[in-house]
Amino acid sequence: MRLERTADRPKRDREATRRRLLEAARDLFAEHGYDHVPVRVIAARAEANVALVNRYFGSKAALFGEVLAGESALRRIFGGPGEPPPRPEELPRRLAEHVVRQIHGARTNPLLRILDRSMGNPEIQPIIRRHMEQALVEPLAALLDGPDARLRATAAAAILMGSGSVRRVLGLSELREADPQALTDRLTAMFTAALAP
């Protein structure tokens, strides 16, 4: 029995360390951005050896990619586990509700802060692009009927991503002061136009 516990411990320790590294990277990237977070700082926050970042993830950029994959709030748009996917006519409202949730959330989504603070680095732009393709554009296009589904999904993604630019440049005070239902209705109309065949 004792030998089994000893054999299991390294695997559990590895999983716990990997999880701590992901959590530390998520928090630090959200706070400072990709460029301003050295690997040694991530390792120190996770109380792990710096060499483990490369061992478990391959590189700082790959760690960034895993952080993005684990933080996607976009999944709610497309339904939860065991739920049927939304019908095409439900998508504009779901996208609008997602934006309003982000605006009125008690705290900013870590993914949004990570993207806000990291977008300019050319090393990770392909990772961000791939994440947005896999988390938003591809699932959205797959649910659309009619021609040019990818173009329409990309137009909706532009509206969604543009809300991040508005947040960075103008802030959210006016949007937060707006009636959430009226704001949702207005955004629904925008997404309906973007997704229309």
Q: What is the CATH number of the domain that holds 39?
A: 1.10.10.60
| 153 and 186 co-located in one domain | yes
| 10 and 40 co-located in one domain | yes
Residue for token pair 């996917």: 85
Note down pLDDT in tens along the chain; length 197 residues: 444 444 454 566 889 999 999 999 999 998 999 999 999 999 999 999 999 999 999 999 999 999 998 876 777 888 777 888 899 999 999 999 988 988 887 556 677 778 777 877 888 999 989 988 998 999 999 999 999 999 999 999 999 888 766 766 777 788 888 999 999 999 999 999 999 99
Q: In the prediction, which pLDDT does 2 show?
A: 46
* Residue 31 lies inside a defined structural domain of this protein: yes
Helix 110-118 / helix 60-70 crossing angle, nearest 10 deg: 140
Q: What range does the domain containing 97 cover?
A: 73-195
| 128 and 94 co-located in one domain | yes
| 118 and 185 co-located in one domain | yes
| 48 and 92 co-located in one domain | no
pTM, whole model, 2 decimals? 0.77
* Residue 68 lies inside a defined structural domain of this protein: no
Asked whether the beta carbons of 92 and 185 are under 8 A apart, the reply is: no
Cα–Cα dist 144/35, whole Å: 37
| 35 and 89 co-located in one domain | no
| 47 and 101 co-located in one domain | no
Q: In the prediction, which pLDDT does 95 show?
A: 95
* Residue 7 lies inside a defined structural domain of this protein: yes
Q: In the prediction, which pLDDT does 3 show?
A: 47
| 96 and 125 co-located in one domain | yes
For residue 16, the tally of other CB atoms under 10 A from its CB is 12
Q: How many domains does the chain have?
A: 2
